[in-house]
Structure 1
Amino acid sequence: MNLEENKQICRRLMEEAWTLGSLHTVDETVASDCRFHDPAFPSLAPGAESYKQHIHMCRGAFPDLSCSADDILAERNEVVIHWTVRGTHKGNFLGLEPTNRAVMVSGTSIHRVEGGKISELWADWNSQALRDQLGFGQSDSKTNKAIARRFVEEIWNQKKPERINYFVTEDYTRFSPTGTLQGAQGLRRDYDTYVSAFPDCHIQIEDLICEGDQVGARFIATGTHSGKFGEVAPSGKHVSVPGAAMLRIANGKVVSEYVTWDTLALMQQIGAVPAEAARTRSSRA
């Protein structure tokens, strides 16, 4: 294909798929095994289907999203587009709650075209400009602390497990005394285990410390043992357990979480481990 035809393929992807929401255009312009590179979305999987889901997610956050190609260049089998995106923030995006603000963000994409379809795509855009326009243009420390607080408050305290996908990345990993779990589904299973046993569970954050993309938290978890917890029948007892966590946050989402708490104190308070046995173990240690 000649250079103008390659330009037209990339222009169609921008104008029809991104601006008009015509996702069938992705099938016509993007290879089934196309690879994507975007620092804001490091977990974006290869393929046209993945890219359609990505566009759908972005347009869900900015329903009136429109893209314009400001400059377009082509050489060999590569097409470079400098573009501008405009839209109104109506849905959650990169962990940022809807603000109803209008934004304008620019970026550059490089497309490799092979056999009439895009086989690889690199995108780079000013995510900080987006945050500034949405009113989140504060320091990384304040932003990451706010994300950590909302992560705990909405999922655990407000009992909104449907929000898990908004707060964690696709490759999210959680390390805790009960083991290692992966992804949103893994966190949902952990959530169900604890909330079914302690329906009124509440996590009170006592302190937050942030440096770079790492947020350290000290907390106290409370609740009433009203459901079966493992093999332990409901005791009706109120528990209060201290703990600590270390979260890594990137692009507005939690990537990993190291959580620890006093498991012995928890089991002792629900009657699974007698207090005398706990003291004996402590003295032997």
Structure 2
Amino acid sequence: MVREDKMRLMDRFLTFINTANPEMANELIHPEVIFYVPGNPEPMRGPGGYMAIVGMMRDAFPDVQWKIDDSVFDGEKVAVRFTMSGTHENTFLGIPATGKTFEVKAMNFYRFENRQIVEEYGLPDMFGLIRQLGAAPGI
């Protein structure tokens, strides 16, 4: 797969996570995908697991959006730096809704096979998010 194809796949993936479209999940996420979520001792699996994480984010932050800031392609791997933003409208990780907006960075690493994501390591700035929600002291 050439760089332009990977860029188009990442753009489609961005559309997927910004819309939570389950049809796009099945198109872009391999049925046996393994993705690692901070705080979970076991990796999540499959499009259903991915939809669960996206759903959890959308429950707490209904307007959550991701934007690609930068990406690096190496073979079948892609590193992407995102900005994630939204409004805290419902409970998140035990933190009651605050109505506060946030903007944090994330660095995710993906591996593709046959135009689908087969592995992801997601590294969002959870401390920055929790701090912006007012649930952790500033530094």
Query: Is TM more than 0.5 here?
Result: yes
Structure 2 residue 12 is the aligned partner of structure 1 residue 12? yes
Structure 2 residue 66 is the aligned partner of structure 1 residue 90? no
Q: 1:23 to 1:32 in 2, by over 3 A?
A: same
The 4+ residue runs of structure 1 with deviation greater than 4 A are none
Q: How many residues align?
A: 138
Distance in 1 (alpha carbons) for counterparts of 2:16 and 2:43: 17
Question: Higher RCO, 1 or 2 (CA under 8 Å, sep at least 6)?
Answer: 2
Distance in 1 (alpha carbons) for counterparts of 2:90 and 2:23: 23
Report if the CA contact (8 A) 2:37-2:44 is conserved. Answer: no
Distance in 1 (alpha carbons) for counterparts of 2:129 and 2:74: 31
Q: Over the residues paired in the alignment, what is the CA RMSD in angstroms? A: 1.6
Report if the CA contact (8 A) 2:27-2:116 is conserved. Answer: yes
CA offsets 1:72-131 (integer angstroms, 9 cap, x no match): 111100011100001000111122111110000101111000011000001112111111
Deviation at residue 45 of structure 1 after TM alignment: 2.3
Aligned to 2:134: 135
Report the identity percentage: 25
Aligned to 1:47: 46
Report if the CA contact (8 A) 2:36-2:42 is conserved. Answer: no
Aligned residue type for 1:17: F
Instruction: Give the secondary structure class of the aligned counterpart of 1:64.
Output: coil
Distance in 2 (alpha carbons) for counterparts of 1:9 and 1:55: 18
Aligned pairs for 1:112-191 (under 5 A) are 112-138=111-137
Report if the CA contact (8 A) 2:62-2:89 is conserved. Answer: yes
Distance in 1 (alpha carbons) for counterparts of 2:7 and 2:36: 19
Report if the CA contact (8 A) 1:92-1:98 is conserved. Answer: yes
Give 5+ residue unaligned stretches, structure 2: none
Deviation at residue 50 of structure 1 after TM alignment: 1.0
Distance in 2 (alpha carbons) for counterparts of 1:125 and 1:39: 8
Report if the CA contact (8 A) 1:80-1:110 is conserved. Answer: yes
Aligned to 1:22: 21
Distance in 1 (alpha carbons) for counterparts of 2:73 and 2:134: 37
Give 5+ residue unaligned stretches, structure 1: 140-285
Aligned to 1:181: none
Report if the CA contact (8 A) 1:44-1:50 is conserved. Answer: no
- TM-score, normalised relative to structure 2: 0.91
Aligned residue type for 2:136: G
Distance in 2 (alpha carbons) for counterparts of 1:118 and 1:60: 24
Distance in 2 (alpha carbons) for counterparts of 1:64 and 1:44: 26
Distance in 2 (alpha carbons) for counterparts of 1:41 and 1:4: 33
CA offsets 1:158-177 (integer angstroms, 9 cap, x no match): xxxxxxxxxxxxxxxxxxxx
Max radius of gyration: which structure? 1
Report if the CA contact (8 A) 1:3-1:77 is conserved. Answer: no
Aligned to 1:189: none
Instruction: Give the secondary structure class of the aligned counterpart of 1:7.
Output: helix
Report if the CA contact (8 A) 1:7-1:79 is conserved. Answer: no
Distance in 1 (alpha carbons) for counterparts of 2:129 and 2:116: 30
Deviation at residue 44 of structure 1 after TM alignment: 4.7
Aligned to 1:69: 68
Distance in 1 (alpha carbons) for counterparts of 2:42 and 2:133: 24
Instruction: Give the secondary structure class of the aligned counterpart of 1:137.
Output: coil
